[in-house]
Structure 1
Amino acid sequence: MSTPAKACPQRTCVALRQVLPPAELLRCVVQVGSDGARTIVPDPQRKLPGRGAWLTPTMEAYALAEKRRALPRALRVPVGTSTDAVGQYIAALQRPGESPPS
């Protein structure tokens, strides 16, 4: 008999609703500025505190998440919360020869 495979954690992309391993997704969290303004930011190291939402790191998935307002809903913040930092990070990932901001 073979030994059962070790269970791998799975996460669901908020835009595409696909279940994938965390290594294939980008975690996003809410960051509160000194002025109290909330911003949704990427968390590529998956270490920032707080509730996380997982997104496939493609511009298509980001556009769909924006259209559906999926990131603010998943993170339980007001719909108008900025997601620009996530879009910029994903755009930098897709540009050849450029490393994304950390």
Structure 2
Amino acid sequence: MVNAPARTHAQASRERKDIVSGEVMDEARLIRFVVGPDGAATPDLARKLPGRGMWVAADRTSVATAAKKGLFARSAKAPVKAAADLPDQVEALLRTRILAGLGLARRAGDLTSGFEKVAAAIGAGKTAWLIEATDGAADGRRKLLALARHQSPRPGLLAIYGSTELGLALGLENVIHTAFLAGRAAERWAEDVRRLAGFSPLLPEDWREEPVEAKREP
């Protein structure tokens, strides 16, 4: 029998146990919580707040279950309050964090916006993610999605913000089409997008065209 390869220290250090299922998984698939000063379970999306971490799978059902069944208190071995709307809080925080990440990426030169520039980035095979405004015209979006289907690997697609929200985050006006260029910055940013997918759709429900395939962890 062939033994499974031993995990490296770095791999093991990034794995945590979900307090709901008991499954050990990568931190990228989990939400960290700590007990806040008010004794409440507090989401720590950046994984930097002081205190013992309590880890929950990054999906609405798991967070709701942890709150409802008192699993935060059990994990902390102390009284811990958990708001009934905790999954909504996590979703809102992720949306804010993802949008802020786009602003940082633009300042670092990792984003390009505008139909022609985005089309050129797709044509050059440099696009990791397409970020489309939810209130943009369907025609331009469909043209970019058609181009993206020929890029390998296909870029991911995110459409949860309106053009005004994107414009404020990026410091631009009338932002409809944006491309997050491939690279380490896009990989880090995408972790939060994948976590958000456990709480809400990444596309409007009324979009009917075939979406670009979502990027997934290997």
TM-score by length of 2: 0.36
CA distance in 1: counterparts of 2:7 and 2:39, whole angstroms: 41
* Other-structure match for 1:21: 26
* Other-structure match for 1:87: 87
SS at 2:36 equivalent: strand
SS at 1:38 equivalent: coil
Residue identity over aligned pairs, in percent, reads 29
Unaligned runs of 5+ in 2: 93-195, 203-218
Unaligned runs of 5+ in 1: 98-102
CA separation of 1:85 and 1:27: change in aligned 2, threshold 3 A:
farther
Asked whether the 8 Å contact 2:31–2:44 carries over to 1, the reply is yes
* Other-structure match for 1:6: 8
4+ aligned runs moved over 4 Å, structure 1: none
RMSD: 2.5
Structure having the higher helix fraction is: 2
Per-residue deviation at 1:51? 0.8
Q: Which of the pair has the greater relative contact order for Cα pairs under 8 Å at 6+ separation? A: 1
CA distance in 2: counterparts of 1:54 and 1:69, whole angstroms: 14
Radius of gyration: which is bigger?
Answer: 2
Per-residue deviation at 1:48? 0.1
Q: How does 1:30-49 map to 2 (within 5 A)?
A: 30-32=35-37, 37-49=38-50
Q: Which moved more, 1:38-47 or 1:56-65?
A: 56-65
